[in-house]
Copies of this chain bind each other. A is one copy, B any other.
Amino acid sequence: MALAEPLVLYTAKICPFAHRVELALAETGLKSNKDFVRYEIDLKNKPEWYQPKINPASKVPAIAYGGPKTTGDQPSPSSTKIAESLVLIEFVADLFPNSSLLPKDPVLRAKTRFFIDTFANKFGPALFTFQSGKAPNGAEGIFSAIEQLQDLMAPEGLAIGDGTEFTLADAAVIPFFGRMEVSLKNDFGAFPEGEGKSTWEALQTDKRFARWKKYWDTAKARESFKTTFDEDYLTKSYSTRWTRA
């Protein structure tokens, strides 16, 4: 598959929201820095043109689509700038309507979007609260959100339908599971010492999370994940991110 117009993705390795879009693009078969420009934004030192010319909210991810070919650091006024990760993964699916990113069946498409909605409203806040050391019941919030997601998953394989096709549901959640693994297994977080490791151990061994563990093993074995996830970089970044009280 090929793009009709030039595309620049403004992203950052650290950011799970931006990673969603990298995964969606990779799953269409597009190659980074060949079929589109991948432009890494240093979130601690953003280029001064980024906020005025690419995203007024100054966040990643963003896409510049159309206009002349550029290297990313000299954005053309004639490209369309689009932001927000969930808007962008839908955009990628719309650019490639014959990809697997959205099933053809309206009911399965709705299940894809409901899965993302549940993830965003339940798992995201639970993980953030736990990592910040502010979860009233320790890891129970994460555990409960994972059980809710399991209830919505295909019996095996990936998230939606018969589990054989990679959809936007997978693109939306995988970046967060990858970062959760780095945080928990290295005990990086503001939670009490040891609670990251014990939580990760539970997710790996407790039968309660058996479906999720299989899901996560399947997901992280995919080429799209391996080419877009830099575990060493994240491990280094996360090692100084949180301060334990």
Contacts and interface: CB of A to CB of B under 8 A. Distances in A.
Interface residues of A, number: 21
Contact of A110 (B94, B106, B107): B94
Contact of A83 (B87, B90, B109, B114): B114
A65 interface: yes
A95 interface: yes
Contact of A91 (B65, B82, B109): B109
Interface of A: 65-66, 80, 82-84, 86-88, 90-91, 94-95, 106-107, 109-111, 113-114, 117
A66 B107 contact: yes
B114 A87 contact: yes
Number of this chain's copies in the assembly equals 2
A114 B65 contact: no
B110 A88 contact: yes
Most buried by B among A84, A110, A111: A110
Contacts of A107: 65-66, 80, 82, 91
B87 A117 contact: yes
Nearest to A96: B106
Contacts of A106: 91, 94-95
A51 to B, nearest CB: 15
Contacts of A90: 109-110, 113
Given A87-B117, A94-B110, A95-B106, 14 more contacts: A80-B107, A82-B107, A82-B111, A83-B114, A84-B114, A84-B117, A86-B113, A87-B110, A90-B109, A90-B110, A90-B113, A91-B109, A91-B113, A94-B109
